[in-house]
Amino acid sequence: MLKNKGITLIALVVTIVVLLILAGVSITAVFGENGIINGAQKAKEKTDESIKQEQEDVGKLVNQLEEFEREGLPDTVKEAIQKGTIFTVNKQIKDESGKTMTVPKGFKVKEEELIENGVVIADIEGNEFVWVSCENGEYKKYEYEVKQVNDSSYIADGENKDKGWYTRYYRAYSDWKDEVDETENKKSVQNNGGFYIARYEAGVPSNADFYVDESTSDKSYKDANSKDTTQTKTGENLKPVSKAGNQCWNLISQTNAKEVSGRMYSGETYGVRSQLIDGTAWDTVVTWMSKEYEGIEKDSTKYGNYRNSTGENQIAEDSCLFAEHLLKRGDDVSNAWCIGKNYQYGIFISGYKVSYQFSEGEETNYNNYDSDTKYTYDHYVEMATGASNSTKLKNIYDMAGNMYEWTTEYGYHDNQDSGTKYAVLRGGNFDVPGGSNPVSIRLGGYGVTYTNAPSFGFRVVLYVK
């Protein structure tokens, strides 16, 4: 009996101790530094801070809106540049000549006071676009005088090539069309007086795993059979950029170029929608350029980065980011490209050739030929976006030369809706002559999924909502 009482007493003591421990834990949980009460107090404080911050932000927004109501958004291009105003709504403004343009929500006017010269706008991240004014039916596709020709080689329109507007693998086929909502595009142009074209060829965004700059570039090569194919991937969140001095987004299919172009501006933050450039927009820009630069649609040699550029004014002012694309020696034409793994910086000399060290202590340039290597040095380079002011026309860089650019125009080469789906490339590239590949060229010999050309890129256009 005493034994049982002893056990009961011990159990009672243990129970009391456990209760005290639990009580202590509960008290700590409620009143401790990280307890419920303190946690609730901190949560309240954070909530109060958030409310206060939100009220301050709302107050700032109200003040801005009141300021806009008092002063109004700028009415002229000059005033918009001076104030650096980011427009909160789409608004038409005038230049000194009386021409009008629509500045979209989310953009500011950055450069050039006269619309005829190409007014530049920019978003908050620094992407730049040029306004293309369209009046009296100027937004239209070029109609070829000679529609059906066997253009397996580069053929110009008109007798004796007096009109320019070259084609290759294009006019022999009749089923070309733009894969866009043409009605919506025309409506936007009509309502707003024009559209926007990216100032630069599409650049690789810095969050892409194949992005390179001065700090990451090197002089290594990759053979075409083992080239880094990451550039063909679109990535869930990758959007092209339109900025100067940026690595061009090449080795990309037309299909992927269309997809990422549409991502650049979506939703309600900006007053535009973005897309890969269409054939009508390209032709409209070429016609606009040819009014000031006579004959550019026939021969763009002195305006772009071509293999036969004269070099007189085709030189980047300082060192410039460029890509190595060298011809590989040998008889295997299918394996003709040797692709530089990365961009790098170099000094441009005549004809956009470059000079830099191939190996330590050995300075070599592309004018020389070394029979002991598998590369010819007498070749040319793809430049980063906007590297030379000599390629700038109407404030737009590199539409002539540097890279062929995909458009939304496509066809099946008269097979209607079956077989290979081809897309149209425009503008020529660094490895072709500027005479037969002017800014007007339409090249229709490559399928929409083709990715192997480092000289194929793209450009974005914006239509105001």
Between 336 and 120, the higher pLDDT residue:
120
The answer as to whether 141 is a domain residue is yes
How crowded is residue 113: how many other Cβ atoms within 10 Å of its Cβ? 17
The answer as to whether 17 is a domain residue is no
The residues, ordered by sequence, that sit 6+ positions from 221 with a Cβ below 8 Å of its Cβ are 324, 326, 338, 339, 340, 341
Burial 7-44 (b: 16+ CB within 10 A, else e): eeeeeeeeeeeeeeeeeeeeeeeeeeeeeeeeeeeeee
Distance CA 33, CA 42 (A): 11
Distance CA 315, CA 433 (A): 17
Q: Is the pLDDT of residue 331 over 50?
A: no
Which range is least confidently modeled, 76-80, 172-176, 200-204, 216-220? 216-220
Return the structure tokens found at 457: 């890129």
Q: Is the pLDDT of residue 360 over 50?
A: no
The whole-number pLDDT of residue 251 equals 80
Q: What's the half-sphere exposure (Cβ side, CA atoms, 13 Å) at 151?
A: 26
The whole-number pLDDT of residue 37 equals 57
Number of residues assigned to the chain: 465
How crowded is residue 162: how many other Cβ atoms within 10 Å of its Cβ? 10
The answer as to whether 44 is a domain residue is no
The residues, ordered by sequence, that sit 6+ positions from 216 with a Cβ below 8 Å of its Cβ are 342
Residues 246-258 have pLDDT tens digits of 888 888 899 999 9
The answer as to whether 23 is a domain residue is no
Chain CA centroid to CA 450, Å: 19
The answer as to whether 66 is a domain residue is no
Distance CA 250, CA 244 (A): 16
Return the structure tokens found at 437: 């590949």
Distance CA 238, CA 137 (A): 35
Return the structure tokens found at 213: 């700059």
Question: Residues 415, 329: contact at Cβ < 8 Å?
Answer: no
The answer as to whether 54 is a domain residue is no
The whole-number pLDDT of residue 384 equals 87
Domain span including residue 163:
86-465
The answer as to whether 33 is a domain residue is no
The answer as to whether 404 is a domain residue is yes
CB-based contacts of 410-418 (< 8 A; 24+ apart in sequence): 410/176, 410/177, 410/178, 410/179, 410/254, 410/448, 411/173, 411/175, 411/176, 411/177, 411/444, 412/175, 413/173, 413/175, 413/444, 414/173, 414/174, 414/175, 415/175, 416/175
Question: Residues 252, 375: contact at Cβ < 8 Å?
Answer: no
Residues 180-198 have pLDDT tens digits of 999 999 999 999 999 999 9
Q: Is 106 left (phi over 0), alpha (psi -120 to 50) or beta?
A: left
Between 153 and 234, the higher pLDDT residue:
153
Nearest 5°: CA angle at 143, between 390 and 146?
A: 105
Between 322 and 374, the higher pLDDT residue:
322
Distance CA 353, CA 326 (A): 11
Number of domains present in the structure of the chain: 1
Residues 42-54 have pLDDT tens digits of 555 544 554 555 5
Least Cα distance to 400 among 426, 418, 374, 379 occurs for 426
Distance CA 314, CA 248 (A): 19
Rounded to 5 degrees, φ, ψ at 94 are: -115, 155
Taking every pair of Cα atoms in the chain, the longest distance, rounded to a whole number of angstroms, is 127
Percent of the chain with pLDDT over 90: 46
Nearest 5°: CA angle at 405, between 329 and 188?
A: 175
Which contiguous run of DSSP H or E holds residue 26? helix 2-31
Residues 143-171 have pLDDT tens digits of 999 888 999 999 999 766 567 899 999 99
Distance CA 71, CA 105 (A): 17
